[in-house]
């Protein structure tokens, strides 16, 4: 029995409720344009910054492109945006900004916190730049968003501030030198065991955003011999990462006696940074919560040689199988500057193959964890094999390779290559699997009826 093939084309969730309100406003603009055309205005159908582009920036770009955020420049005003118009046209039309590299149109498209632009929004943006990036009437501007003037957790929008924060020990990063790793162990600081509902790792601000390549809080647990052993990771930070949200029916246990072993990869950026700390924010399920299933986030390796000759390409694969049914809750490819694409496929016990997710324009500066919507997360019967495939590119076409004239191989420095995926897996029992399949089928059957009422057709996502 399989339900994986049950997929819907329903629209994706925008970044936050706020964004939703703005999106509704955006999708309503073509109507306004038509109306003003009927009124015989000067350039009635002209796409302008004030009327059409500012709402798109507010909903999809300013969270990063404003002072004190991760983007290299601010896109709050017309003047600021105009300077970057043609570069933005290029990146927006290729779907490289906002950064979200999951292929559109292949595999599961129902992703939590999906901030991709709709086709309509992309067309509007492109039409605006092609028309010479006109400002339009400032009276048409939407009211500015009051962005908080401090570093926020990315999940804060949805979940509020974290219940608990665990910090790495301070580390001094010199101005010059090569990659360095910082692996201090710290206690959880908890008085009692708790079930984790969400976790987000973040670097310090502002320096950490430049010098931290990635940071992983590994979870260590005492075994019967009284030794701490790694059991899983709680979350991984790499730029662009939102964090991990665990589905309602699953939890990740954090015991008061556990330790966090940080694995922070730093690289010097030309200035001294003293006492840098990486932070793990945790949101808990309510006290007394008992999960039906356990979920963990683990690294799944892809094997094989990555010997990239000058101008060469390579491919690696990883095969994984469990002795019980599972649900795949998220997928995050990991590689460095040569990883160009990674896919997840599943081979069912009957031999059928299905593509789950594909990331073609992987960019090592952006490590996104694609978290499947609850009713889209693949439910895999016992015996299903997960196949990960990674493709590497050391040709001159790859703008990110430091030098396509030399060899590259596996390794952990920024310029070496890596090959793995992070996957959050909920471990099911046979009964639990059957129950989830039935519940999902029932829900999707009723949803299907609701959808036919037609209130979803407002955008092309």
C-alpha distances in Å from residue 376, one per residue of 110, 179, 196, 299, 369: 6, 39, 22, 22, 15
Sole binder of ligand HEC in the list 20, 43, 83, 87 (CB under 6 A): 87
Smallest distance from ligand HEC to CB 61, Å:
3
Q: Least Å distance between CB 107 and ligand HEC?
A: 22
Residue whose CB is less far from ligand HEC, 14 or 136: 14
Residue window 100-129: x/- pattern of binding to ligand HEC, with contact defined by CB under 6 A = ---------------x-x------------
- Residues numbered 364 to 383 that lie near ligand HEC (CB under 6 A) are 365
Contact mark string toward ligand HEC, 328..357, x via CB under 6 A: ------------------------------
Please state at what angle helix 29-38 crosses helix 17-27, rounded to 10 degrees: 30
Decide if residue 99 touches ligand HEC (CB under 6 A).
yes
Give the nearer residue to ligand HEC in terms of CB position, either 11 or 218: 11
Of the candidate residues 162, 240, 243, 378, the single one contacting ligand HEC (CB under 6 A)? 240
Segment contacting ligand HEC (CB under 6 A): 80-88, 259-267, 402-410, 446-454? 80-88
By beta-carbon proximity to ligand HEC, the closer residue of 294 and 414 is: 414
Stretch that binds ligand HEC, among 22-30, 88-96, 401-409, 423-431 (CB under 6 A): 88-96
Asked if 98 touches ligand HEC (CB under 6 A), the answer is: yes
64 vs 278 by CB, closer to ligand HEC: 64
Total site size for ligand HEC, rule CB under 6 A: 20
**What is the distance between the alpha carbons of residues 73 and 93, in angstroms, rounded to a whole number?**
19
- Distance between CA 83 and CA 101 in Å, rounded? 25
- CA–CA separation, 124 and 120 (whole Å): 6
d(CA 142, CA 22): 9
Closest among 53, 52, 31, 33 to 44, alpha carbons compared: 33
Residue 409 tokens, joined: 């191989």
To the nearest whole angstrom, how small is the minimum distance from the Cβ of residue 147 to ligand HEC?
13
* Residue 324: C-alpha distances to residues 346, 381, 431 (Å): 15, 7, 11
Is the Cβ–Cβ distance between 362 and 236 less than 8 Å? no
Q: CB 368 → ligand HEC: shortest distance, Å?
A: 9
Least distance (Å) between residue 365 CB and ligand HEC:
5
> Distance (Å, rounded) from C-alpha 233 to C-alpha 260?
9
Q: How far is the CB of 161 from ligand HEC (least distance, A)?
A: 20
Q: Token pair for residue 263?
A: 């694995």
The C-alpha atoms of residue 6 and residue 50 are separated, in whole angstroms, by 41
Min dist CB 278 to ligand HEC, Å, is: 18
CB of 267 to ligand HEC, least distance (A): 15
Q: Which of 16, 18, 33, 91 binds ligand HEC (CB under 6 A)?
A: 91
Q: How far is CA 334 from the centre of its chain?
A: 12
Nearer to ligand HEC, 365 or 443 (CB): 365
Q: DSSP string of 219-252?
A: EEEE-TTS-EEEEEES--EETT---EE--TTEEE
Interaction of residue 92 with ligand HEC, rule CB under 6 A: yes
C-alpha–C-alpha distance, residues 153 and 202, integer Å? 8
Please, which residue, 157 or 249, has the CB nearer to ligand HEC? 157
Work out whether 318 is an interface residue with ligand HEC (CB under 6 A).
Answer: no
Structure token pair of residue 271? 């200035």
Number of other CB atoms surrounding residue 62 within 10 Å:
19
CB of 163 to ligand HEC, least distance (A): 24
72 binds ligand HEC (CB under 6 A): yes
Residue list 46-65, contact with ligand HEC (CB under 6 A):
60-61, 63-65
Only segment of 87-95, 296-304, 311-319, 332-340 that touches ligand HEC (CB under 6 A): 87-95
Contacts of 316 (CB under 8 A, 6+ apart): 302, 303, 304, 305, 306, 389, 390, 392, 419
The DSSP string of 120-137 is HHHHHHHHHHHTT-----
- Asked if 183 and 221 count as a contact pair (C-beta separation under 8 A), the reply is no
The closest alpha carbon to 164, from 215, 234, 231, 112, belongs to 234
212 scored as a contact of ligand HEC (CB under 6 A): no
Question: Does position 83 bind ligand HEC by CB under 6 A?
Answer: no
- Which of 389, 372, 338, 395 minimizes the C-alpha distance to 6? 372
The answer to the question of residue 252 lying near ligand HEC (CB under 6 A) is no
Binding residues (CB under 6 A) for ligand HEC: these are: 60-61, 63-65, 70-72, 84, 87-88, 91-92, 97-99, 115, 117, 240, 365
């Amino acid at each position: 029995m399989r339900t994986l093939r049950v997929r819907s084309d329903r629209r994706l969730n925008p970044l936050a409720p706020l964004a939703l309100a703005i999106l509704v406003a955006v999708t309503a603009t073509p109507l306004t344009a038509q109306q003003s055309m009927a009124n015989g205005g000067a350039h009635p159908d002209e796409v302008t910054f004030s009327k059409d582009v500012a709402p798109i920036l507010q909903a999809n770009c300013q969270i990063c492109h404003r002072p004190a955020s991760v983007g290299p420049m601010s896109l709050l005003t017309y003047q600021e945006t105009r300077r970057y118009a043609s570069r933005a046209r290029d990146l927006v039309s290729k779907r490289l900004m906002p950064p979200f590299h999951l292929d559109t149109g292949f595999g599961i498209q129902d992703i939590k916190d999906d901030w991709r632009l709709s086709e309509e929004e992309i067309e509007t943006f492109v039409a605006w730049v092609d028309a010479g990036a006109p400002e339009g009437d400032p009276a048409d501007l939407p009211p500015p968003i009051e962005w908080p003037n401090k570093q926020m957790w990315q999940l804060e929008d949805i979940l509020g501030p974290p219940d608990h924060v665990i910090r790495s020990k301070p580390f001094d990063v010199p101005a010059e030198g090569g990659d360095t790793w910082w692996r201090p162990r710290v206690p959880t600081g908890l008085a009692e065991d708790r079930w984790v509902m969400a976790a987000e790792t973040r670097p310090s601000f502002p320096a950490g955003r430049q010098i931290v390549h990635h940071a992983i809080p590994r979870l260590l647990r005492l075994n019967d011999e009284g030794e701490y052993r790694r059991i899983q990771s709680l979350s991984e930070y790499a730029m662009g990462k939102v964090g991990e949200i665990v589905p309602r029916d699953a939890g990740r246990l954090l015991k008061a006696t556990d330790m966090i072993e940080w694995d922070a990869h730093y690289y010097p950026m030309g200035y001294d940074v003293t006492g840098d700390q990486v932070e793990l924010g945790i949101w808990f399920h309510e006290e007394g919560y008992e999960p039906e299933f356990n979920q963990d986030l683990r690294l799944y390796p892809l094997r094989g040689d990555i010997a990239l000759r000058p101008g060469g390409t390579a491919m690696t694969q990883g095969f994984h199988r469990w002795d019980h049914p599972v649900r795949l809750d998220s997928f995050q490819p990991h590689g460095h500057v040569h990883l160009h694409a990674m896919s997840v496929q599943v081979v069912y016990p009957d031999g059928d193959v299905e593509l789950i997710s594909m990331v073609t324009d992987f960019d090592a500066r952006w490590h996104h964890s694609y978290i499947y919507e609850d009713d889209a997360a693949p439910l895999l019967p016992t015996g299903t094999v997960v196949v990960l495939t990674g493709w590497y590119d050391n040709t001159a076409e790859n703008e990110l390779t430091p030098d396509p004239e030399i060899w590259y191989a596996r390794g952990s420095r920024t310029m070496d290559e890596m090959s793995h995926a992070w996957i959050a897996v909920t471990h099911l029992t046979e009964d639990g699997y059957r129950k989830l399949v039935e519940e999902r089928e029932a829900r999707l059957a009723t949803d299907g009826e609701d959808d036919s009422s037609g209130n979803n057709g407002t955008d092309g996502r």
